[in-house]
Structure 1
């Protein structure tokens, strides 16, 4: 039996180069809209397209194997998912609250350490979760189906790749023109609506994300934007709860967000935590499998890897954030438990509950160490970062099991990926946001994930009494709405096709209305195409959307680097 090439040098290098290209895209998108994009399918298409083309051109070139494709996408997706290590949420929130900003090298070490911990948690969860027939891991299955499809229909993979590159080029050129040559007008019907951030933002990235999120989430964003920015914001002005500077013109996002942030965060946090709790209650019997030891011989290397990861996380918390070693050590069992929970939720729903894991950790540390911002944010960052990489690798393990890949080779690829991602992700973050205190939570950089972590930490530190009466009532009402929506989502979502998404509603309070409008437009456009030409939509919409996201975000990062160089 012929053994396929797997952990080859060219597979690792290909995944590394693709990861270097795509990691800044997720950092950019995370700071813009609080969401990121799984890069596995893009990496598969690019790697296959390049090496298959080389094999066709140079006949002696060995074929790009199925297992090499898997290693390539593992490296690239691990690098791109590095933002779960804290780059767009707890790290900027820590700077906003304390005024302290980590230098690049310490930040790289910290992001790598929490991600490294998640890899070894995934290794020990693999036997019980990947072999569980009730856990489908939808994201992993989507990657697997794409992998099989491109090897059985190579010509179609080439067409998808052409669509992806064309969309990326189109979005990149538009972004470059907008940044350097001619600022595209942000049209608004009248000055009053413009003040409330109702403008048309010609962003291809937002249009692309709209094409991915689906009609339900897109309409929820649109409804939430109308409720928050056309309903509540004018009421705040009438009641004198928000006062605009005299003679102000243009979007006043930074003024309104100081009030709207709180109900938006409350709605998202209460909804995600209650949804997570309800889903776990539904599967309480299945969770017993987590306690069963794997039926395999003990191995030394994974144990050494886990111990090294634990030591690294504890030492770096103490060195960089001044957290007492015993408190730092407390973050480890919490990370182990919550990463296991996140892996199970991803296996069932395909949605990584990283935000919910982070906020749940913040609540825990708010009880254990009240008033301590570093442990509240960075201790929770340990759990969130570990959960992020754990879920990413669990999806890869699901793919690997189906094609007969070697698990330890996938772990090596994942480690390479987080190493590359830590370096490139931090450099991209520093290039985009050189001054977090003045740049974040603005219309240009809303950073909704950072706003959420900051608000939770601030509330747990100062208490609800620190908020105005109107904000407290808004927090309670929004939290109640979030809990009700999450209950409906868990129990009756199949009967109500377009029940509003609680996460999207909350997010629309924290994003400018212009962002929600453009994403909703992308969702509606994709829906129309799917109704008009279902086959075309199935084949090419994801590739086109991914290209728009990658093209604009990579150009945006490049423009920031160019401006830094010139400055």
Structure 2
């Protein structure tokens, strides 16, 4: 009997899992600007749930094809943050003073993500069938999918680890925010008052955000990103908050917060520190982007042309046209953007999504931040001084690129098991609809007042800070930027470019990871410290027992992220209700 794929139960399973996991990415995106791919988690839960129902004789196990549809639906839902909910949308809200109305927000997030689906299907022939790019995330998903149906006991063990770590992280977060507050001790040093700070007293480690944060979610992220990125975060945090920050405070170009030794000065100091941090990340990302684009261009010329058998070219083209029209209409209707600028945002988004998808195919890392900055620069040239057009145009590119990359990973996994791509597109459409509804409602519930809540120690929102400052700068010109910040931008950008060139050309893998190093400059040092310890524990486990780490590390780390995120969202929602 042929394998089943798009069944009602597979689609509903993916929708439910997407609704549960989407808040995790909204929460972590607003906390540290990062998200995690839920494909493997969704696979483990979906297959485990239906296997349990089979044992209870109230259902049958999922087939391989149904598992693929369930994870495609769930991952597209959780990936809805690429539609702007943790970057350009909050940045625009901070500039205008209020969030979008609920209906407009839902429609907008869906429109830009919907465009990404059709871009991905249009690119499938080139990137999946012809070029044979590895798409690491998609390949890992395919291997997990096949393993789940070949080794049932192994899948059950991984699911138990996932559930246990989820419960642990969720319980710790719940106690930390309610019944049993856990201490966040300072690291125990202070700096003598001097220069511009005379009269404020000593500058404490707490002022500089050097505290110990008992966040298992951050530790889970550290375990996933690896030891090199963890060390880079630690070094970046020490350099920015332990060296550049104090120097800036004494010289007067960094603004101190209130004269309270127990108060973190994140909101005040980040106004200057984000300049070198953003410049370093953008310089490194665009340089790597250029290397990959050049390499991909050479590889494309070497591959034979092929076509996807039986695909409906007219349907892909029609979907792309309809999605493009929806995005243009939404820009004009919701944001009063001139129709010419709105229309030009679509081809820019298509080109940037195409390049981003190729980068994801080679490295597994979506360069959504760099894509957004390139689009902001493009819109800044086309519509100078218009911050709304700048952010929304970049939002179109980022949303299309994010969903395109996610679906291409799903296409890679589906290709490995012979899944019809049109069925995966249907699953993605339902997933994006789920994510748009759940993600928008969760964001509005968590951040009802973006102006006062974001870019604070509680909600650092580094992606929001970077998109906001670029839009403000392009609207006012470089004359509004302090001279010290311009020097910091130049040095940060050159450093990011130089280190990336050395890494790519010379293979110097011992150099710090520039994206992680730059990120440490725009989040509190406490977050970087915790993620470093998570990466250190993972490294020690890999050294002590490589087999154990390979089998269970990702499942355990993913559970820590999911558990704390879900508990944090639940706590915030209960606080609003109460």
Instruction: Give the TM-score taking structure 2 as reference length.
Output: 0.95
Q: 1:468 to 1:297 in 2, by over 3 A?
A: closer
CA apart distance, 1:82 = 0.4
Task: Write out aligned runs for 1:50-69 (5 A).
Answer: 50-58=49-57, 61-69=59-67
The DSSP-based 3-state class of the residue aligned with 1:284 is: helix
Is 1:253 the counterpart of 2:252? The answer is no
Residue in 1 aligned with 2:398?
Answer: 384
Specify which of 479, 493, 508 is matched with residue 465 of structure 1: 479
Q: 1:320 to 1:244 in 2, by over 3 A?
A: same
The DSSP-based 3-state class of the residue aligned with 2:130 is: coil
Residue in 1 aligned with 2:213?
Answer: 201
Residue in 1 aligned with 2:114?
Answer: 116
Specify which of 508, 514, 517 is matched with residue 505 of structure 1: 517
Residue in 2 aligned with 1:328?
Answer: 342
The DSSP-based 3-state class of the residue aligned with 2:366 is: coil
Contact map agreement 2:224 2:557 (CA 8 A) in 1: yes
Task: Write out aligned runs for 1:160-199 (5 A).
Answer: 160-190=158-188, 192-199=204-211
- Output the aligned Cα RMSD: 1.7
Residue in 2 aligned with 1:425?
Answer: 439
Is 1:4 the counterpart of 2:16? The answer is no
Residue in 2 aligned with 1:276?
Answer: 289
CA apart distance, 1:52 = 1.3
Is 1:413 the counterpart of 2:427? The answer is yes
Contact map agreement 2:187 2:212 (CA 8 A) in 1: no
Contact map agreement 2:503 2:509 (CA 8 A) in 1: no
Residue in 2 aligned with 1:140?
Answer: 138
Q: Which runs of 5+ in 2 are unaligned?
A: 191-203
Specify which of 555, 562, 565 is matched with residue 550 of structure 1: 562
CA apart distance, 1:301 = 3.1
CA apart distance, 1:459 = 1.5
CA apart distance, 1:339 = 1.1
Residue in 1 aligned with 2:39?
Answer: 40
Contact map agreement 2:139 2:412 (CA 8 A) in 1: yes
CA apart distance, 1:132 = 2.9
Distance 2:60 2:447 in 1: 43
Distance 2:378 2:8 in 1: 44
Contact map agreement 2:91 2:465 (CA 8 A) in 1: yes
Distance 2:341 2:118 in 1: 21
Distance 1:471 1:373 in 2: 21
Contact map agreement 1:253 1:443 (CA 8 A) in 2: yes
Specify which of 388, 395, 398 is matched with residue 374 of structure 1: 388
- Tell me whether 175-184 or 209-218 shows the greater mean CA deviation: 175-184
Residue in 1 aligned with 2:228?
Answer: 216
How many equivalent pairs are there?
562
Distance 1:246 1:210 in 2: 32
The DSSP-based 3-state class of the residue aligned with 2:458 is: coil
Task: Write out aligned runs for 1:324-363 (5 A).
Answer: 324-363=338-377
Residue in 1 aligned with 2:407?
Answer: 393
> CA offsets per residue over residues 271-290 of structure 1, 9 Å max, x none?
11121012212222334699
Specify which of 70, 74, 97 is matched with residue 76 of structure 1: 74
Q: 1:6 to 1:186 in 2, by over 3 A?
A: same
Distance 1:349 1:247 in 2: 46
> CA offsets per residue over residues 478-506 of structure 1, 9 Å max, x none?
1110111221232233xx33211111111
Distance 1:146 1:127 in 2: 24
Distance 1:403 1:432 in 2: 39
Contact map agreement 1:136 1:347 (CA 8 A) in 2: yes
- Tell me whether 232-241 or 214-223 shows the greater mean CA deviation: 232-241
Q: 1:478 to 1:47 in 2, by over 3 A?
A: same
CA apart distance, 1:117 = 0.5
Q: Which runs of 5+ in 1 are unaligned?
A: none
Distance 1:306 1:209 in 2: 35
The DSSP-based 3-state class of the residue aligned with 1:351 is: coil
- Tell me whether 47-56 or 419-428 shows the greater mean CA deviation: 47-56
